[in-house]
Structure 1
């Protein structure tokens, strides 16, 4: 929900861009919404005469949103240390699956591209807050370093160095055709998982594959990453044995093919995959109910159609 009166001065139209920036910086829809709301609150706290002096309200709101996100990232590390098990970014449903008529919800504002893939977001988590802000604003949103310097309180040259350092961390091969090839592999994983076929799963998983689960202490999940294709296959089949009535569904997760596990109409798990040369190298399974709220709405929308 945009602050009251946001449409009067044209700033309401900036909300989608701000949500997209904030989610890539924070990896959390709820925190992104809070950051954007804070930026709007600061905008309307300005005297009207001051607002009228600002040539580009969108640039001002982006700068403030970036600063708020920087503060959140700075405190996030301490919170993550107290988090039960691994912390993963919140997975996003496809806008078509989310449905129409929810334009005020941050999930409906997201542009799904390679910069919100789970693989990309996990890499962003390895960066320092300043690196992440410089890299996302410059490499993803093409903001000039002069404007980024205003967000970070550093010189443009220092911001350029931060982005370069972040780029070295990332080294992501953005293959626009990857999703098409990934869909078939994910479908085979689903079929083998449903059949509880360990041998078939082992064939689909890279021997050095890693599976990371996020239960947040409120849903059962392995507290540490599971390493090795054979161990992951055994773990997946053990889950299937324990979870009677679990339904596996092919869904788009953060813009790439993934799986949703649902029981009695409730989304229990959202899984993202990284596929290389036809084999799964990484699995990220989000089970924390707090991070799956948009998925419950998405599935309800599908049922109503």
Structure 2
């Protein structure tokens, strides 16, 4: 018996660790301390607000903190205009929404910045707090939509690359043994794992044939023959998921998890004609979160592996 999509949904709801949404980050930039403090107080409840008193300082903040959802910058500042500062953020943070505050009619600078996509909106000083809040809220929503679309595209590309790698490796490998490590490598990289093992199964028992991937290139100990989740995956022909081992006293007490430092483990049986012919072990050294679509991808890809290995075995 193999997994149906509803079964995957049940596992994802019961066993996945859930991250609470974090506040989006915002950077406010103004050389006037009073304005900087006012902007901070206005948005601190809804955003994690970072402050900078100049464009140069703001670039340093971004270098340290990374991408933010929204930047609000004054236009007239010493050393660097707001539009110049914002233009420098575009190459590294293309999805960030940029808002200019201006008390002057710098029409030429503003029009150029808006037309080139460097500025989402400009607000004149003194600003209306409600208007500014509304603009920032729309900007944050636009940012989230852009990020979702980017992530969906990246996921789609990763899925296509993984499935292609499985098929290509199975076709190009000289023998059954030599195709295991490249496939494990493809899974490990796709799911940003610390370690990954693809091990053959015959007559319900693990064989000596295996392929191993490690993120750091170090030696990875294969303890699957001692692992209860692996035995259950083979016996039940169902995926076993433990994404927060330290929170599970039974698993945390197992010697092989403690010795290896693995804190999240997912084991997927590769099933062909109601027989498990391999298991895929994906391991992380910290508790992690997987979306339901990632669990579905793991399940479907493992079944592709099962088919590829069966065809390779018959050659």
Query: What TM-score, normalized to structure 2?
Result: 0.25
Which protein is richer in helix relative to its size?
A: 1
Q: Which structure is richer in relative contact order (CA contacts within 8 A, separation 6 or more)?
A: 1
Larger Rg: 1 or 2? Answer: 2
